[in-house]
Amino acid sequence: MAELAGNVLVGQSGGPTAVINASVAGLITEALNHDCIEEVYGSLNGVLGILQEDLVDLAAESQQQIRALKHTPGAALGSCRFKLKKQADFDRVLEVFKAHNIRYFFYIGGSDSQDTAAKISAHALAAGYELRVIGVPKTVDNDLPGTDHCPGYGSIAKYLAASVRELAADHESMGQGDLVSIIEVMGRSAGWIAASASLAKRRDQPHDSPHLIYLPEIPFSQEKCLEDIRRVLKREKFCQIVVAEGLTDSDGNYVSADPATDAFGHAQLGGAGDFIKDLVEANLPGVKARLSTPGLMQRSAAHAASKTDADEAFLVGQAAVKAAVNGESDKLITLVRGDADHYTCETGLAPLAEVAGNVKKLPREWINEDGVSMNFQFTRYAQPLIQGEVVVPQDNGVPAFAHLDKVRVEKTLPAYVV
């Protein structure tokens, strides 16, 4: 395929992770190695930045700050949950691309973001504009199809497993067979995050906490939950529960959800932990129920990030540029696991059309028959992803993160009303 000369544009979308910026660092680092790439731009706040022609020159950033992106949480370019709907929106995107000679577009995000990338590519193709679009995987939920796992998941899993073990030490000293500790974690449609709490268990201690894990994949039964808790409290000083926010009942309804939805039509979740807390307090006299909600902290904890996760996030950024320069388009960069007995990982490609809008569930065979614990298959899958520690520089005892100058690219088009 003939070499395509032009500029790069990278955007970030959806909820950030502890390692999403490592992918930006990988993209910039690799893009600067190719003569066919003339400029490297970033779009502020994902597709919103494209519509508003709000672009920054990433090649103008210092190498020191680019390296610092590898240990900086949040979306350094800004993110969004905005859905392109109108024909005028897609026309505007293409207008901005033409004005700045964008020939390579990289979108870092989850399933909805990859759907956006696929639609932008289709619009450019229909208009006869040569554009190579590559999706870069990102989601703490780990529910993106086509890839063995997603950058962002290993770090949230490491943070949660560590937090569960730390809380267990606290509860061991306080419980007298009368304490139920509930931790509500992220996970709208799949239980990957909640399942990762099981990594806190020691191999030789089968009764270690978390004692009960409630997943979206298993319909929730109030009666069974109370029975599970009673069983644990007969044996232990406390009962530690981890529940995914997307917990559903036997009819497939969320046990707790706000009627409001986001731009993609997803319910605003939160409250599954409160639901179980209220259930305990109403039905188990004398039992104290405590709720912890890590919330946004669980996806922002760069101080507890997995080195494996950070390295792979950088790797997918590099691989995206290499794929595009080699002529690939309409693809998602994937992570491909090697030999099962010795963890290795390389990158692959999956068609965006097969990824966009779909969800990868936790395999049922990785969940024990009791429905509230994970078996060795999950442990073998997830444990390699939390290995290693990211060294985060300190500034007066707290983490020091990247600070981009964000030199604006000159606007050449009339303003656009979103």
Annotated catalytic residues are: 141
Residues 176, 401 contacting (CB under 8 angstroms): no
**Using CA atoms, how far apart are residues 256 and 272, in angstroms rounded to an integer?**
5
Which of 176, 169, 178 is CA-nearest to residue 290? 178
**Helix 307-325 vs helix 153-174: crossing angle, to nearest 10:** 170
Q: What is the DSSP letter of 306?
A: B
368-383: burial string, b at 16+ Cβ within 10 Å, e else = eeebbbbeeebbebbb
How far, CA to CA in Å, does 44 sit from each of 23, 56, 257, 360? 16, 7, 30, 29
CA distance 138 to 115: 13
Helices 307-325 and 20-31, packing angle to 10 deg: 40
8 Å CB contact between 58 and 10:
yes
